[in-house]
Amino acid sequence: MLPCSADHRGLCRASSAGYLSLLLFSVLVTISAACSNGACQVLEACAAATDCGPGLYCGNCPASGKNQPVCTRGQAIAPTSIINGLPFNKYTWLVTHNSFSIVDAPPLPGVQRLTFYNQEDTVTNQLRNGVRGLMLDVYDFENDIWLCHSFQRQCFNFTAFQPAINTLTEVEAFLSQNPTEIVTIILEDYVKAPKGLTTLFTKAGLDKYWFPVSKMPRKGEDWPTVTEMVQENHRLLVFTSDGSKEALEGIAYQWKYMVENESGDPGVKPGSCPKRKESKPLNSKSASLFFQNYFPTYPVEAEACKEHSTSLEEMVGTCYKAAGAMPNFLAVNFYMRSDGVGVFDAVDRMNGRTLCGCSTVSACQAGAPFGSCKNVSIPTRSPVTNNAGSFTGSVQFAKSASTVYSPNRLVVFMFYIPLMAFWL
């Protein structure tokens, strides 16, 4: 553009104003054409949490180079809502690692926290969002049982603790309010008090849901169906890492009933799925449950969205080949974080393949032959070019679908238009 002379400055101002008006009109048309007010679907661009539909939040994944916010999945599809009545071990369930170790959890008086955090919302919200397995580390201290995630010496020195009864009461409330749901608890067990755990679970009101050890298959057979488990109210499975607890308290010794891959960094190494040292070989036929760990040794919130992308899908395939079976449990950190679909999509795909032979569980048809699949749209992670908005700050999970801080770029742009016109 040629510079304006003093004689033609008024004309230049008029031309600039017209140009800016046209530019503003173009932006308005682009924004208005985009979805909003709860109409945006998964992976569609968003400017605020309110743009996205139910079960979605507005987020991005800078760790993967994706700064454009898109509507991101925050809730799981219950596989039993589509295909019900199969043995429990035919399904894949989402699990949270150190479910109780929550960022920004209110501090307890006199309790020091020296720990890594693994989750971002309450156990109640985790369960509401479709998590069906909880990994808990339990210790006894001063005639009570506490949850702790820290270095073992620090746990015994009474740091990074919270009472276990608090979390178990949340589980009881969920099971009471959702009479068809089944929850599994995996205990890393350091409790030495005789009958300490059974007393704790009874105090929390969970004994009435307890799945008895006597009914657990010991030679790799199928489990009872989910329908039978619900009818008998055996909707809580509890496993311990302490082999003595099965005979003493009737708590299932984990390694009798499931195989498990290595946790931490070995469990996320591409192309490798080693077994945990306590576990039988992953392809053992004497255990009917397969537990897959998928989280690095040191959890980093900002990296979780990237971890839950392509690398997760590849690792599921690697572990499937190692075990010859689809994992029944998938354990992760920061389960809500993804670049759009994350662990929820991975679990959908795992259930789809096992339950009906389809690419995703939403393509399954109840009562149809195996491999008869509906045509459904499967989200892809293709780049998004609509640059409608962005957000700053950490993701908040106060509700079942999260809220994010989302300043709208359009507001900023409109603010600067008059200033630009004035100075031209």
Residues 374-417 pLDDT 10s: 998 777 654 333 333 222 233 444 333 333 333 333 322 332 33
- pLDDT for 319 equals 98
**Dihedral angle over CA of 20, 25, 30, 36, nearest 10:** 120
pTM of the full predicted structure? 0.82
Q: Which residue has the tokens 């999260």?
A: 402
- pLDDT for 402 equals 35
- pLDDT for 10 equals 52
| Low-confidence winner among 135-149, 200-214, 258-272 (lowest mean pLDDT) | 135-149
Mean pLDDT of 46-71: 93
| Low-confidence winner among 107-121, 155-169, 368-382, 391-405 (lowest mean pLDDT) | 391-405
Residue 265: pLDDT band (50, 70, 90) is: very high
In 261-359, which ranges are continuous DSSP H helix?
Answer: 301-307, 310-323, 342-355
Mean pLDDT of 368-375: 95
* H or E segment to which residue 330 belongs: strand 329-332
Q: Does the pLDDT value for residue 340 go beyond 60?
A: yes
| C-beta separation of 402 from 49 below 8 A | yes
- pLDDT for 2 equals 41
- pLDDT for 26 equals 44
Q: Does the pLDDT value for residue 143 go beyond 80?
A: yes
| Low-confidence winner among 290-299, 303-312, 361-370, 373-382 (lowest mean pLDDT) | 373-382
Rounded Cα distance between 151 and 163, Å, is 17
- pLDDT for 386 equals 32
Q: Does the pLDDT value for residue 332 go beyond 70?
A: yes
Q: What share of the chain in percent tops pLDDT 70?
A: 77
Strands (E), 205-318: 236-240, 252-253, 258-260, 289-293
- pLDDT for 36 equals 82
- Enter the tokens of residue 16: 């600039």
CATH of domain 76-355: 3.20.20.190
Rounded Cα distance between 261 and 281, Å, is 9
Q: Does the pLDDT value for residue 235 go beyond 70?
A: yes
Q: What share of the chain in percent tops pLDDT 90?
A: 71
Mean pLDDT of 343-351: 97
Rounded Cα distance between 224 and 216, Å, is 8
Mean pLDDT of 320-349: 97
The residues, any chain, with a CB within 8 Å of residue 306's CB and separated by 6 or more, are: 61, 63, 64, 339
Nearest to 334 by CA among 298, 306, 304, 312: 304
AA identity, residue 409: R
Rounded Cα distance between 424 and 415, Å, is 16
| Low-confidence winner among 27-41, 45-59, 251-265, 294-308 (lowest mean pLDDT) | 27-41
- Enter the tokens of residue 160: 């990074």
- pLDDT for 85 equals 96
Q: Does the pLDDT value for residue 80 go beyond 80?
A: yes
Residue 4, SS3? Answer: coil
Residue 219, SS3? Answer: coil
Query: Where in the chain do CATH 3.20.20.190 domains reside?
Result: 76-355
The residues, any chain, with a CB within 8 Å of residue 336's CB and separated by 6 or more, are: 57, 74, 120, 121, 129, 342, 395, 397, 402
- Enter the tokens of residue 190: 């350091």
Residue 148: pLDDT band (50, 70, 90) is: confident
**Dihedral angle over CA of 128, 132, 138, 141, nearest 10:** 30
